[in-house]
Amino acid sequence: MSTVSATTTRRIDAPAEQVLAALADYNGTRPRLLPEQFSDYAVLSGGIGPGTQVRWRLHATKKRVRDVVADVSSTDAHALVEKDRNSSLVTTWRVEADGPDAAEVVVTNEWQGAGGVGGFFERTFAPRGLDRIYGELLDNLAVDVAR
């Protein structure tokens, strides 16, 4: 097995604090941002930032669906970390200021991938699919914070 990683980045025209607050709002903002590949989204406890627990189904493809139950924590004042209880998946959202009225958001998904031929295809294609899915989510975030 090897670590598989997928990273998506966007510059968003809003202050970093506003962008991070929107991402940390698992009750209100986050459900509005989710593209169609996310279903059955629910906040299980908490709802704002670290200490929150959420669940969803991620439809990576028509046949590959991952049930996620994520515990939210933080590594520092600029990041949210979602650790899946059902797998090795860890999603890290990092928001850094890019001037006074803009932010750079980097979302990284990492997990222990399969070995062999299946692992080769996972390492090759999964990052592209996740970049598309999380790119759409970040595009939705940019529209949402511009309101």
The pLDDT tens digits for 38-61 are 999 999 999 999 999 999 999 987
Q: What's the pLDDT at 128?
A: 81
143 CA to centre of own chain: 17
**28 pLDDT more than 80:** yes
More confident: 55 or 114: 55
**136 pLDDT more than 80:** yes
Q: What's the pLDDT at 113?
A: 63
Q: What's the pLDDT at 119?
A: 53
pLDDT tens digits for range 66-105: 999 999 999 999 999 999 999 998 999 999 999 999 999 9
Least confident among 31-35, 36-40, 102-106, 121-125: 121-125
The C-alpha atoms of residue 26 and residue 137 are separated, in whole angstroms, by 14
Q: What's the pLDDT at 77?
A: 93
Write down the residue that tokens 């929150």 correspond to.
Answer: 52
**Residues 146/102/108/94 CA torsion (nearest 10 deg):** -110
Write down the residue that tokens 């979602």 correspond to.
Answer: 82
The C-alpha atoms of residue 78 and residue 137 are separated, in whole angstroms, by 18
Give percent of the chain above pLDDT 70: 89
Average pLDDT of the chain? Answer: 90
**125 pLDDT more than 60:** no
Q: What's the pLDDT at 68?
A: 96
Q: Which of 105, 79, 91 is CA-nearest to residue 15?
A: 105
Ranges of H-type helices in 27-115: 29-33
DSSP-assigned letter for residue 125: H
